[in-house]
Amino acid sequence: MDSPLVAAIEAGGTKFVCAVGHGPDDVEEARFPTTCPEETIQRSIEFFNEAQERKGKVNAIGIGTFGPADVNPESSTFGYIKKTPKPDWSNTDLASPIQSALGNIPLAFETDVNAAAWGERKWGAANDLNDFIYITVGTGIGGGAVSNGKIVHGISHPEMGHLRISKDPSVDPFVGSCPFHGDCLEGLASGTALEERWSQDPSELPSEHLAWELESSYLADAIINITLTLSPERFILGGGVMQQDHLFPMIRERVIARLAEYINVPPVENYIVPPGLGAQAGVLGSLALAQDLLK
């Protein structure tokens, strides 16, 4: 194999995905529920130890995690999950115990959505682009950004899930599910918000349900706001909620109508697309980040 053997974790609020491999065509992975930090971290370490017995020593590890997270390598809490609504996980040192257990190999630590974006750039729907956005719409909503071929950071990482989105209370009186901001994008359009608003699993809502009119409207507004701010070449929309096939055309139609030809974006079918790596975008992105450390 030309690519080095590395380890990867997609640390989600619902499940962890751990992997060892060289790339999309050669990866061994395990998926298990995200329980308390001690149990989940130990289970990850056990997977890596067992995988190394079969495949050999890993040379680096990449972790893409739910957040907020400290992704600044110069920070004293680099590798920590910060204040999060996930019970028991606030201020958890996720990276150090795993890195130590693997022999203090090089470590990349990113948000899960930035990692997914990086995987899509290397192997997926953005492999020819330097400026694009990856948004996941699942239990929560998060966004990763690549600009000029680099993952975007600043005082922290992007928090696109908490964009403020206008709504009409007469049409949607739901107060929002976000424990921090109420009716931000995540509070209105995440899978959690859909389930709380309609008292039903979103996957069970029929395609003609009002839920999807609201969902496509909120996501379209978010895409427009980000388009006007960052002018990306493409949006990649992943996550469980986006498994509803009828959502993509609804979102595309609203984006084009509301932009009102103010900005000439690429053909909308190529501008707003599903991930090329599907459900593996996050873990493969973490794998790619680990491999970058060894270049």
Q: Any idea how long the chain is?
A: 295
Q: Phi-psi bin for 25: left (phi > 0), alpha (psi -120 to 50), beta?
A: alpha
Distance CA 160, CA 253 (A): 21
Dump pLDDT digits (tens) for 110-168: 999 999 999 999 999 998 899 999 999 998 999 999 999 999 987 777 789 999 999 99
Segments in 236-280 forming alpha helices (H): 247-259, 268-271
Look at residues 1, 14, 2 and name the one whose alpha carbon lies nearest to residue 282. Answer: 14
Please give the Cα distance from 9 to 248 (Å, whole number). 28
- Give the pLDDT confidence score for residue 182 in this predicted structure: 87
Give dist(CA 149, CA 145) in Å, integer: 10
- For residue 111, the cross-strand partners are 65
CB-based contact 290:61 (threshold 8 Å): yes
Instruction: Identify whether the C-beta of residue 63 lies closer than 8 Å to the C-beta of residue 9.
Output: yes
- The SS3 call for residue 27 is strand
pLDDT for residue 232: 96
pLDDT for res 85: 80
Residue type, position 62, single letter:
G
The total of other beta-carbon atoms located within 10 Å of residue 194's CB is 24
Provide the pLDDT for residue 158.
Answer: 77
Nearest residue to 72 (alpha-carbon basis) of 99, 101, 108, 105: 108
137 DSSP β-pair partners: 141
Total-model pTM: 0.92
pLDDT digits (tens, 9 = 90+) for 188-202: 999 999 999 999 999
Per-residue pLDDT of the chain (295 residues; tens, 9 = 90+): 578 999 999 999 889 999 999 999 999 999 999 999 999 999 999 999 999 999 999 999 999 999 889 999 999 999 999 988 888 999 999 999 999 999 999 999 999 999 999 999 999 999 889 999 999 999 899 999 999 999 998 777 778 999 999 999 999 999 999 988 889 999 999 999 999 999 999 999 999 999 999 999 999 999 999 999 999 999 999 999 999 989 999 999 999 999 998 988 989 999 999 999 998 999 999 999 999 999 8
Distance between CA atoms of residues 191 and 103, nearest Å: 38
